[in-house]
Amino acid sequence: MKPASKVFTALIMIFLFAPIVILLVFSFNEAKSLSVFSGFSLYWYRELFRDSETLNAVKNTLVLAVCAAAISTVMGTAAAVGINKLRNRYLHAVMDTVTNIPMINPEIITGISLMLMFVFVGRLFGAATSLSFWTMLIAHVTFCLPYVILQVLPKLQQMDASLPEAAMDLGCTPLRAFFKVEIPEILPGIITGLIMAFTLSLDDFVISYFTAGNGFQTLPIRIYSMTKKTVTPKMYALATIIFFVILALLLISNLSDSDGSRAIKAARQKRKNLKAQNSI
């Protein structure tokens, strides 16, 4: 890199990380001040772990994210398989457009639209409030689905279509061919989709805000209500913990990623060798 490029990159990184570093530093502040560092202390971390409402929100967020990711991955993978096999051009275009809607529409509109429907249907059945864990789960699955489909579909298109056919010619049932041949081929896409769905669900605030019932609070909603009042550095402690968890997950996934690609390369090499032998 040229010196000018290095300076520019450094400036951008300072811009991106200055707020995060400040959060980290002031989470260890002794006093409540967010501008003067008066001394090191773990006081705010102790406070955080005494805050049962926040801890409960963490639990809720994880439960919701696991459910939403699992449902959207299974349904999204099945949808990608179906869309990939659609021969009708117009149906294909309709599917593409509908799938794009939640990604292109502003989150606030997705949130409002689902909320309006839930409220309307709830009133139809005479319920005072229809918003609950279930409405939130529906909302999360809905906005995660397109991302899963978008990860799996290209893998299906790259796959050699004769592979599952060969399996069926050799006596596999279509279902068995799907699980034994297609799934292993598209697994990287499914896993990326699963991870994306999980993190999108964990992080979502806007859509959750409109579809959450009173009884079920996720972490972003808890943070929102915490920042409405004057904030204690307790929230900074929470942000610091989240940051390090994310960092650890990223490092692990990067390491396993390079392991995975190595394994794939090895497998390819093996296949090549076999081919060479067969041709002889």
Distance CA 123, CA 115 (A): 12
What the block records as the tokens of 11 is 């400036």
Please select the residue that binds another protein; options are 62, 63, 75, 195, rule is CB under 8 A: 75
Please select the residue that binds another protein; options are 130, 142, 208, 217, rule is CB under 8 A: 142
Class of residue 51 by CB neighbours under 10 A (exposed 0-12, middle 13-18, buried 19+)? middle
Structural contact between residues 73 and 143, judged by C-beta atoms closer than 8 angstroms:
no
Stretch that binds another protein, among 52-60, 106-114, 126-134, 262-270 (CB under 8 A): 106-114
81 touches another protein (CB under 8 A): yes
Nearer to another protein, 180 or 271 (CB): 180
Nearest to 114 by CA among 212, 225, 224: 212
Name residues contacting another protein, limited to 199-228 (CB under 8 A): 199, 203, 205-206, 210, 219-220, 223-224, 227
Please select the residue that binds another protein; options are 57, 141, 186, 207, rule is CB under 8 A: 141
Nearer to another protein, 83 or 187 (CB): 83
37 contact partners, CB below 8 Å, separation of at least 6: 25, 26, 29
Quote the least distance from Cβ 266 to another protein, whole Å.
Answer: 20
174 touches another protein (CB under 8 A): yes
124 touches another protein (CB under 8 A): no
Distance CA 34, CA 227 (A): 14
Please select the residue that binds another protein; options are 10, 14, 20, 183, rule is CB under 8 A: 20
Quote the least distance from Cβ 251 to another protein, whole Å.
Answer: 9
Nearer to another protein, 70 or 119 (CB): 119
What the block records as the tokens of 181 is 């041949």
- As a whole number of Å, the end-to-end CA separation of the chain is 48
Please select the residue that binds another protein; options are 62, 70, 109, 163, rule is CB under 8 A: 109
What is the DSSP-derived secondary structure letter of residue 160? -
Quote the least distance from Cβ 235 to another protein, whole Å.
Answer: 7
Structural contact between residues 75 and 142, judged by C-beta atoms closer than 8 angstroms:
no
9 touches another protein (CB under 8 A): yes
127 touches another protein (CB under 8 A): no
Distance CA 118, CA 135 (A): 7
